[in-house]
Structure 1
């Protein structure tokens, strides 16, 4: 769930979803006038949806986007929503913190009312094999960043560098072994930019390239660019490189 709202009509609920870039579906309770906006839909995540009496489920594709007025032309980022203004203008404001994504995070303890919207909270724990430090409760701050003291640690290192930056990897003891390297964009709140057209973007060549540069070396340096990492997997979207590695 992204967020929930009380005293909303079903049309209010649909419009809220249509104006929120990440939203894919709604749940609406007619008796309570209660609205929930979701970042997934039934088609993608059927196991997450349970049919309950009194609730209406609707997919965003079932509605005409023209009801959003000026926001029909919105170019808001994935974690923003469009607010219409007079004279067919609009502005974009932060809507959520994105799905919590960090080394070792697990969503096994997510509860029914957890959400990723601004000022909402979500329960996250560590996956098996990771050591947990801190609280499992994450709070979405007004700046779109999760507030948490949860740490999930093991011997797997995780580094991210934004497009046009330099990434440096090193091992204090032993040599680098690349586990995974993704160049593209799979999250909206990593290396935040206004130039985000998709969060389903990854290069098919980046991992092999990073391995050729870094594997079996005590340290290495990688230029995060289309040229260095095998081309542009999603033109018009600001990308980043995420690398997971161990020291052997």
Structure 2
């Protein structure tokens, strides 16, 4: 029994070394770093190698942030070459820029990243490829709207406003369909407006009227 346990331990250590070496051979990892913003989509329970591979298959994806605590994969449409100040410290993440990706074995048809935006390249035999729709466009052009960066096929989004803004109009919920369009097709009648600032009037609990000559109160 002890011999079996020793063999299992040796096998695990060899696999760990091989995985680490493979990772380092194919792309440069910056541990304890992450990229801030320019998100495309995120998924859970990926390995960092699979996360980088999925990014490579989408031409708009330029970098990834991999959460080493919960194995969450985030992809970004920018990287540290374009926005170096966006690469910031993080104790729970690792950052990879796609410019360092060198793995092409099994991906030969997609090696040049030939597919258009919002599609995923699928390598097929004889160094060929096909492109499938993977994301929708932004869909909402309302200023100060919130949460529309992650737009993969199948995801349902609800129109929200950024912090310090509120939604004035119809609440919209829409799903990204497999053809790359949104399920909600009506004209969106909504805007995001700044939340009114609270005003402290001291001991006077009544705001001055338009006829008042009080000054200094917004």
TM-score between the two structures when normalised by the length of structure 1: 0.49
Supply the distance in 1 between the matched residues of 2:156 and 2:87 (Cα, whole angstroms). 20
Residues 74-223 of structure 1: matches in 2 within 5 Å? Answer: 74-102=113-141, 105-110=142-147, 115-125=150-160, 132-148=168-184, 151-152=188-189
| Residues 47, 109 of structure 1: alpha-carbon distance in 2 compared, 3 angstrom cutoff | farther
Contact 1:3 1:120 in 2 (8 A): no
In the other structure, the counterpart of 2:90 is 52
Give the number of the structure whose residues are more often helix, by fraction.
2
Shift, 1:28, TM fit: 0.6
The verdict on how the C-alpha distance between 1:137 and 1:46 changes in structure 2, with shifts beyond 3 A counting, is farther
SS in 1 for 2:55: helix
Contact 2:59 2:115 in 1 (8 A): yes
1:91, distance to aligned residue in structure 2 (A): 1.1
In the TM superposition, residue 94 of structure 1 has moved relative to its aligned partner by 0.4
Provide, for residues 159-217 of structure 1, a one-character-per-residue CA deviation record: whole Å limited to 9, x for no partner: xxxxxxxxxxxxxxxxxxxxxxxxxxxxxxxxxxxxxxxxxxxxxxxxxxxxxxxxxxx
Q: Structure 1 residues 116 and 47 mapped into 2: Cα distance closer, same or farther (>3 Å)?
A: farther
Contact 2:58 2:119 in 1 (8 A): yes
What TM-score comes out, normalization by structure 2 length?
A: 0.55
Larger Rg: 2
1:70 alignment partner, one of 109, 122, 141: 109
- Give per-residue Cα distances to partners, 1:83-140, cap 9 Å, x unaligned: 11233222110011123353xx1354228xx61111124454579xxx9542244421
Structure 1 unaligned residues grouped into runs of 5+: 155-248
C-alpha displacement at 1:25, in angstroms?
1.3
Distance 1:99 1:57, change over 3 A: farther
2:99 is the alignment partner of 1:61? yes
Cα RMSD, aligned residues only? 3.5
Instruction: Name the one with the larger strand percent.
Output: 1
Number of residues of Structure 1 aligned to a counterpart in Structure 2:
150
